[in-house]
Amino acid sequence: MHGNLIANAGRGRNKDEGYVNAWDRLPYITTLGRSGKASTEPAVNNISENFVLGTYSPLLDVDTDDGASFYHTFDNVLAYGGYGRKVNCNAHDVRSFRNFFYWLPRATCERLIDYTLQALADGLPASLTAAVDDAPDSGWNGPDWSNNNGWFVNNTVVLSGGADPCGVPGGYASDCPTVGLGSACDFGELGTSPNNTARGPAGMVFGGNTIMAADFATMKVPARCGNDTLQQWLAKGHDPGTWVAPVQSWPVLLAAMRAKLGLPVGSGPAPSR
């Protein structure tokens, strides 16, 4: 998927879908994976040099959900929306790099699954899923922790501040999920399960990102990572190469976005926020 202008899609507040929406729920046998032998591993799906305008309050710009795997999202400009991307429900090997995320509350969302809490939310008795929570493949024990071998690297993120469309406080969770202490979404139910033995996704990499915001004083990584501000978290050596900066002027941002898409660098009026 390359070189597209995408806008006015996935309309509706709180809809759990993105302008680019991937579900890998049904495996196929193919020889296009890395080994060249028959397996369920697909070839890499590349999403590059697209301009995505998240108008009409979509929840997500790129939604790699429900087992989506081997997606590389790079050199895109993704503006507005609730999250730049989501990686969820067994999705893995999802790599986002060299993208420009503009004016959205939160850059990325990786979260684990607690089947007991989900059952309760759906009105089902917890006894139906308590055994699943303790199983080797449960969300609290590792493999269901989304985005093993994933990346969020060398991206530029211009945060708008405020909450996302679901009312969750915005920000940038940094590499808090990789140390098994929380979720990049930081939904309120985390940490309430009696089976809470969560570990971070294996091989997930955060680093080299530029995070711009109007106010970093109140921006914190998820509470389960110690309630540090983002700057305090980075100062401890997390998320190597990532740095924070105030929001740059519109001409500077516009030039960077145009350069990202290979367009002539020009000028234009600043958008209404």
pLDDT of residue 68: 86
Q: How far apart are CA 99 and CA 15, in angstroms?
A: 23
For the stretch 130-159, pLDDT in tens is: 444 443 333 333 333 457 788 999 999 999
Q: How far apart are CA 72 and CA 25, in angstroms?
A: 18
The pair phi, psi for residue 11, each rounded to 5°, is -70, 145
For the stretch 200-223, pLDDT in tens is: 566 778 899 999 998 777 677 776
What is the number of other CB atoms lying within 10 angstroms of the CB of residue 243? 12
pLDDT of residue 198: 45
Name the strand (E) or helix (H) holding 235: helix 230-235
Q: Where are the alpha helices (DSSP H) in 90-223?
A: 115-121, 130-133
Binned at pLDDT 50, 70 and 90, residue 67 comes out as confident
In this structure, what DSSP letter does residue 25 have? -
How does the average pLDDT of the chain come out, rounded? 76
Residue 230 predicted with pLDDT over 90: no
Q: Under 8 Å CB-to-CB from 93, ≥6 apart: which residues?
A: 69, 70, 71, 147, 148, 149, 150
**Please, which residues bridge with residue 83 across strands?**
60, 106
Q: How far apart are CA 155 and CA 211, in angstroms?
A: 8
Distances (CA, A) of 110 to 85, 128, 157, 248: 9, 25, 16, 27
